[in-house]
Structure 1
Amino acid sequence: MLACLVERLVADNDTDSIPDPEKSVDIHGVLKDLNIEGSIDYGVTAISLGSTDFGGLYSEKPLAVIRPAGADDVVRVIRRALESPTLTVAARGNGHSINGQAMAHHGLVIDMKSMADNNRIDVNVNFMYVDVGGGALWSDVLKHCVLKYGLAPKSWTDYLDLTVGGTLSNAGVSGQTFRFGPQTSTVTELEVVTGTGEKIVSSNSQNSQLFFSVLGGLGQFGIITRARVLLQPAPDMMIEKLLGKLRYLKHFRYEIDLTYMNFLSRVDHVEEAARGSGIWSTPHPWLNMFVSKKDIDAFNRIVFQNILRNGINGPILTYPLLRSKWDNRWSVALPKNEIFYLVALLRFSHAHPTESEINQMVAQNEEIVQTCIKNGFDFKMYLPHYNSTVEWKRHFGDQWGRFVNRKRQFDPKYVLAPGQKIFTRNHQF
């Protein structure tokens, strides 16, 4: 089903001049004496895991999957990859990417969830923060912090079975972001393994350039192995107090009494039903965008009412965000206006979709993106996916030069996150 999509990806990237890693790397020879506390898996099951993601649109086969015991293992893997002229390394969280971003074609995939450090979720009650491994799931952070301490981070994602490092490498948004900012705004310290194989602790005041580069950096500058996240008392259910601050049409009011944990875990029921029907494991051509307030009316008229007039067979999420809640030192690209909207097209197919049906959804997503470009909309892709340097330059705009300089500083041999298709190991500017 997916062969044509993968072939198109390779063609768009013009890979004729790129050495074939499968021919140039004897992976068993390269890794046989690698002294890590974790494990190296060349097996069919592991390779299958490392070559798939939630999107189900791409399949990039790695040479091996590394299951590190801790950050020092990640250091050793990257340093070993640096000894090769072609080997790349991708960090895989819970595999919830859509377009193969956590894959490494004939490279090494690091299974971040396997890190023993993730089992240590250390809450500091006095200073109101939690230290947590980069491969830990936010759902586990929620349970640990709320049930044991009555505390919780301020900002979440709508779906919690995502890894800490994965969401911080993008931003981490939900309906709460308008008030609290993205998840990146709640982080005060990171432990990062850079593309030079160095383990570095960074913050606003210590190694700050790395700190701000990694947040929203799409995994291009380092692998997050630990994050320090601010906490607050977990909210109670003061519905009237909260709604009293809002202006809204009263007849549209709809409420359900839930605990804070049940509210944040609300997508679990959707996932359970989707798994039961078989559609959770089918391809998901999702599209996530930030659209400026100045263009949202036109976007509604052209996209929602025309291109998507027949729906998408799944939820459509739209909610406003404030640019002032985002730090412009982060690597994430945003629309220029103060108010912009998340537009998330969460497409689902039936249990046995045809190749044609999936390709139609992918084509419609591309039509939406090209429509935004043609009409000059102020927009950015969230969880971006492009196939050429020209497109990535347009995405980052006047931040492209800064992004390239950060890559040169923290991953000068372009080892990390090859699945993003921003740089290749023989990349030339």
Structure 2
Amino acid sequence: MKVSPLHCHRQHNISFLKLFMFSVLGCITMHVSDPDVPSSLKTLSLEGHFSFDDISYTAKDFGNRFHFLPSAVLHPKSVTDISATVKHVFGMGLSSKLTVAARGHGHSLGGQAQASGGIVIQMQSLREAETRVHVGEFPYVDASGGELWINVLLESLKHGLAPKSWTDYLHLTVGGTLSNAGISGQAFRHGPQISNVHQLQVVTGRGEIMNCSAEENADLFHGVLGGLGQFGIITRARIALERAPEMVKWIRVLYSDFTSFTEDQEMLISAEKTFDYIEGFVIINRTGLLNNWRSSFNPQDPVQASQFNSDGRILFCLEMTKNFNPDESDMLNQEVETLLSKLRYIPSMLFQSEVSYLEFLDRVHVSEVKLRSQGLWEVPHPWLNLFIPRTRIHDFAKEVFGKILTDSSHGPILLYPLKKSKWDNRASVVIPDEEVFYLVAFLSSAPPSSDHDSLEHALKLNDKILDFCQKAGIQMKQYLPHYTAKEEWKAHFGDRWEMFAWRKATYDPLAILTPGQRIFQKAVLSS
């Protein structure tokens, strides 16, 4: 029988794995106070520096629900700063309860980038090497893990290039989205962002700096992608690029029939000639929404559009784009017309616009600026993101839209299909076991309300949705998952849990990294 090197490595580590599982999964519960944390860290020789005061901002994130104050914040100037810090904590062993969390732009939803009493690494301070674009037959960009995607885009566009896959919001860090997956309306074609990475530089939970790819340190490479920060801190990434278009034809159409809406989406993502971006969203009891669209979209039939009345119906919007350059306008319009002729939307509800490629990709930032001016950005965001198998999407929609949820006034509800074949099953992220599955994202905001607790109300609705999925036997998976119990995490990963725990034992044996995910708990021996 042929035995793989990975199998041998796992056999040699089995005793250590048992000790690891015993410690980090809650069997050792006694903790001791650390010695003077600032004094310990001040002994390190760094290019950057630590902050011990005015660090409360790291105990807050976009979710604005969990607030865990660290003992110190590292502002690294080089990857060796990060390595030295993690190695120092690792060297303290089980005598210290110090943990380490990498913080990007603070867009986590549930305190994932926080470290109670530990060390937060401010990744945007990492400027050891600038973003570098390599032009050639297979172009790519090398970027810091703390760089914002908007800056990666701007630098790539200088060379007429751009990354292939995106998130809807670009003011997120490279390391942050690659630790999850990174999805938007291009994912049906190119896969998530983690499917478009050639190479990573990672600092493991031992403090080791390791380069990894599908050919070098492959297990670490695949583990870190979608690994929720559990196996290493992404300090640099090499990302695939493609030729960037100059312009985007941006289209929205409305449906009142859910079957037509989903079948049209599935047809489009399976077609050889199709749109470049495809997303859908659900509109529940939002009669004034179309007025907002008219400021940036032109209705094909202004008269009929102005007379449209939703009559309390649940509507479904299909949003699509087609990339083009100005000299291709005629051909583009013919292609778009052909594609639209195959769809079954409400005829009078066709809206179109033409914007630059940059303007389209950075579209959410416009909303951010507006919400910040109104004081509505830094409010709780009890988001719920689910991957629903295609075979159960109708059961899900029938119960959730209009029954559990009676309006969509507190935030968008996204609903669009993805293709399993575009995801690398060696990565840590888990998705439904069907070729086509849907992202359903409830992007709620919970501003202070005088009549009821809007946050509590939103969380109850989330619980009702999750409870329905469980009782109905819908084999959904959470995206950007948030669990607090070991059994919930084991259920989330299913038959991949053993591999996930083994990777943790291998690359972060003391469970130092990313404690805010609440998957593993660092063990501390009593004195």
TM-score (norm 1): 0.92
Q: Is this contact kept in 2: 1:53–1:95, CA < 8 A?
A: yes
Specify the alignment match of 1:135 in structure 2. 146
Deviation at 1:351, TM superposition (A): 5.5
SS at match of 2:360: helix
Evaluate the alpha carbon distance shift between residue 28 and residue 264 of structure 1 in structure 2; reply closer, same or farther with a 3 A threshold: same
Evaluate the alpha carbon distance shift between residue 420 and residue 25 of structure 1 in structure 2; reply closer, same or farther with a 3 A threshold: farther
Matched, 1:338 2:348: no
- Residue deviations 1:60-90, cap 9 Å, x none? 1111111111111110110111133211000
1:240 equivalent among 300, 321, 333: 333
Q: Is this contact kept in 1: 2:183–2:192, CA < 8 A?
A: yes
Specify the alignment match of 1:83 in structure 2. 91
In the aligned structure 2, how far is the partner of 1:387 from the partner of 1:175? Answer: 30
Deviation at 1:24, TM superposition (A): 2.4
Specify the alignment match of 2:49 in structure 1. 39
Amino acid at match of 1:248: L
Deviation at 1:353, TM superposition (A): 7.0
- Structure 1 unaligned blocks of 5 or more: 1-12
Q: Is this contact kept in 2: 1:129–1:229, CA < 8 A?
A: yes
Matched, 1:221 2:231: yes
Q: Is this contact kept in 1: 2:145–2:175, CA < 8 A?
A: yes
Specify the alignment match of 2:188 in structure 1. 178
Deviation at 1:352, TM superposition (A): 5.8
In the aligned structure 1, how far is the partner of 2:59 from the partner of 2:166? Answer: 28
In the TM superposition, 1:17-416 aligns within 5 A as: 18-20=29-31, 23-44=33-54, 46=55, 48-84=56-92, 85=94, 86-117=97-128, 120-126=130-136, 127-146=138-157, 148-237=158-247, 238=324, 239-240=332-333, 243=336, 244-245=338-339, 247-249=342-344, 251=347, 252-350=349-447, 356-416=453-513
| Aligned residue-pair number | 411
Amino acid at match of 1:362: L
Evaluate the alpha carbon distance shift between residue 298 and residue 20 of structure 1 in structure 2; reply closer, same or farther with a 3 A threshold: same
In the aligned structure 1, how far is the partner of 2:180 from the partner of 2:335? Answer: 29
346-355 vs 92-101, which deviates more? 346-355
Deviation at 1:248, TM superposition (A): 1.7
In the aligned structure 2, how far is the partner of 1:69 from the partner of 1:134? Answer: 12
In the aligned structure 2, how far is the partner of 1:166 from the partner of 1:19? Answer: 32
Q: Tell which has more relative contact order, 1 or 2 (C-alpha 8 A, sep 6+).
A: 2
Q: Which runs of 4+ in 1 moved over 4 A?
A: 13-17, 351-355
- Structure 2 unaligned blocks of 5 or more: 1-23, 248-323, 325-331
Instruction: State, as a whole percentage, how many aligned pairs show the same letter.
Output: 45
In the aligned structure 2, how far is the partner of 1:301 from the partner of 1:234? Answer: 40
- Residue deviations 1:225-282, cap 9 Å, x none? 0000011100244343653456323624322101111110111111111101111011
TM-score (norm 2): 0.75
- Residue deviations 1:99-152, cap 9 Å, x none? 0011101110000011113x6110001240000000000000111111x10100
Q: Alignment RMSD, CA only?
A: 2.1
Amino acid at match of 2:116: H
- Residue deviations 1:356-387, cap 9 Å, x none? 32122112212211221121102110000001
In the aligned structure 1, how far is the partner of 2:510 from the partner of 2:194? Answer: 26
Evaluate the alpha carbon distance shift between residue 24 and residue 300 of structure 1 in structure 2; reply closer, same or farther with a 3 A threshold: same
